Amino acid sequence: MTRVAQALDTLATLVGRPPVSDLASAFDAAGFELSLVGGPVRDAFLGKDVNDLDFASSAHPDQIEQIVRPLADAVWDVGREFGTIAAQFGDTTIEITTYRADSYDGASRKPTVEFGDSLDEDLVRRDFTLNAMAVRVPGLVLVDPYGGLTDLMDGVLRTPSPPEVSFGDDPLRMLRACRFVAQLGARIEPETASALSEMAPRIEGISAERVRDELVKLLSTPHPREGVEAFVDSGLAHLVLPELALLREERDEHRRHKDVYQHSLTVLEQAIELEQERHPGSPPDVTLRIAALLHDIGKPVTKKFEPGGVVTFHHHDVVGAKMAKKRLKALRFDNNTIDSVSLLIELHLRFFGYADQGWSDSAVRRYVRDAGDELERLHIVTRADVTTRNRQKADRLAFAYDDLEARIKELSEKEELQAMRPDLDGQQIMDILGIGPSRTVGQAYRFLLELRIDHGPLGEDAARERLLEWWDKQ
């Protein structure tokens, strides 16, 4: 059976059973059109599971609600002013939207909502032709006025209306195109790509939250590299994430075959492979992926030419961490993501000192303490950062990190490194020194924590003796 035949069989099964069959009959009896539209149709032809069910109808919102309410377990407004009513049928959520014929003022994303008269008119306002297909119910009639099925089969991204009109209506569609490059393995056809590059500055009129959400969707795809490349090549990254765009202009300090930009894309790929290997079946770790992609963004601003023509990027880890924090704040990421990404970037070079000369137990404890809850992600980012083609060097670094993880595990079993605390708590410090809550208690606590890191567990008696020695010197 061909892919198209399989898709039609899947759709026939879907529309032939409740709740879709009940809805189709009810709308037909009331004299209104009803069609499954967009993503569900596309996914059926891709052989993917069809989960979200979106419908378009000639009925207006009040009419939709009147038809659906007797059939559904619950009905609510998603956006009545935009023509959308949602309904719950057991475990299935369905959204039904009146045919649309929106017009935009060209200055903002907010449309002037106009309800349309036909399905074709509704489909032409959608983002890409592969999302501008529909299946009429209760029959099984494929509606594809803009060649979406051909484009889907050929892996082509094309807008159903002229791209200047489509991107002008909603500039976020330009970033969505990059996501579909990654998600669907599609390529942007030349006219659409040209319009995307020319109109890239329009993305600055889109809210940071919407841009952030689309970037998260891009990085959540199984293989985001080609989508990220489209993001950079189009000029969108220069406006949204300029620190990434600037990487393409830098060469690494060894002047090897790879530039910093391509290296960063490879680190992203390798981090995803390790993420899936260590946590199979888990949702995409977007925080990890952002850190992997941005780990070297401090290089362009720390680049220096040393005697002999050597190029260095000293302290690019610390500088890059600050740059990432500033950019992610501007994109309205949550504080936990911002803090985690900046910490991972700041620490991503720490291991290479271990690979060169090995560490004492105190240095291993300090590594664990500084990484905190990000230790597992730091393991992945650090391993992914090895992209050398020198097999001997790669094997040496992999062996060294294996050894470091083994030492962390061994010390953790002995000393509970992840819950590292001084041998005395704050109340004990106050009792021993005869003082109340104050800055001095915090200073004493930090002194004991440094002892714990340097020497491992001391026990309460030895810690008390060292604390009193410290106190005598204050």
Which of 177, 209, 240 marks a domain boundary?
240
User: pTM for the whole thing?
Assistant: 0.84
Q: Convert the pLDDT of each residue in 183-237 to its tens digit.
A: 999 999 999 999 999 999 999 999 999 999 999 999 999 999 999 999 999 999 9
Axis crossing angle, helix 190-199 with helix 172-184, rounded to the nearest 10? 140
Q: Does residue 253 register a pLDDT over 50?
A: no
First to last CA, the chain: 83
Which tokens belong to 269?
A: 């790929």
User: 141 and 184: one domain?
Assistant: no
User: 398 and 427: one domain?
Assistant: no
CATH number at residue 226: 1.10.110.30
Q: Averaged over 239-258, what is the pLDDT? A: 73
Q: Convert the pLDDT of each residue in 295-317 to its tens digit.
A: 999 999 998 888 877 888 889 99
Cα torsion 305, 306, 310, 315 to 10°: value is: -80
User: 120 and 87: one domain?
Assistant: yes
Question: In this structure, are residues 99 and 122 in contact, taking their beta carbons and an 8 Å threshold?
Answer: yes
Please check whether residue 247 lies inside any domain of the structure.
no
Q: pLDDT grade, residue 257 (50/70/90)?
A: very low
Q: What is the mean pLDDT of the chain?
A: 89
User: 141 and 177: one domain?
Assistant: no
Please check whether residue 274 lies inside any domain of the structure.
yes
Please check whether residue 255 lies inside any domain of the structure.
no
**Other CB atoms within 10 Å distance of the CB of residue 356:** 8
When mean pLDDT is compared across 112-116, 341-345, 430-434, the lowest value belongs to 112-116
Question: In this structure, are residues 219 and 286 in contact, taking their beta carbons and an 8 Å threshold?
Answer: yes
Which of 180, 212, 240 marks a domain boundary?
240
DSSP state of 73: S
Residue 473 is predicted with a pLDDT of 80
User: 269 and 373: one domain?
Assistant: yes
Please check whether residue 127 lies inside any domain of the structure.
yes
User: 276 and 388: one domain?
Assistant: yes
Which domain covers residue 185, as residue numbers? 155-240
What DSSP string describes 160-223? SS-HHHHHHH-THHHHHHHHHHHHH--EE-HHHHHHHHHHGGGGGGS-HHHHHHHHHHHHTSS-
User: 235 and 134: one domain?
Assistant: no
Please check whether residue 283 lies inside any domain of the structure.
yes
280 vs 446, higher pLDDT: 280
pLDDT above 70 coverage of the chain, percent: 93
Please check whether residue 246 lies inside any domain of the structure.
no
Q: Convert the pLDDT of each residue in 38-49 to its tens digit.
A: 999 999 999 888
110 vs 26, higher pLDDT: 26
Contacts 24+ apart (CB under 8 A), 27-31: 27/57, 27/59, 27/67, 27/137, 28/138, 30/59, 30/63, 30/67
Please check whether residue 196 lies inside any domain of the structure.
yes
For the chain, the domain total comes to 4
Residue 256 is predicted with a pLDDT of 45
Please check whether residue 254 lies inside any domain of the structure.
no
User: 146 and 287: one domain?
Assistant: no
Q: Convert the pLDDT of each residue in 134-176 to its tens digit.
A: 999 998 899 999 999 999 999 999 999 999 999 998 999 999 9
Q: How far apart are CA 345 and CA 330, in angstroms?
A: 18
User: 408 and 438: one domain?
Assistant: no
pLDDT above 90 coverage of the chain, percent: 59
User: 24 and 133: one domain?
Assistant: yes
CATH number at residue 395: 1.10.3210
Question: For residue 97, how many C-alpha atoms fall within 13 Å in the half-sphere facing its CB?
Answer: 22
Interacting residues of 273 by C-beta distance below 8 A, sequence separation 6+: 384
Residue 418 is predicted with a pLDDT of 57
Residue 416 is predicted with a pLDDT of 62
Q: Convert the pLDDT of each residue in 64-81 to its tens digit.
A: 999 999 999 999 988 888
Which of 151, 173, 201 marks a domain boundary?
151
Q: Convert the pLDDT of each residue in 391-444 to its tens digit.
A: 888 888 888 889 889 988 888 877 665 566 787 787 888 888 788 888 887 787
User: 137 and 15: one domain?
Assistant: yes
User: 294 and 407: one domain?
Assistant: yes
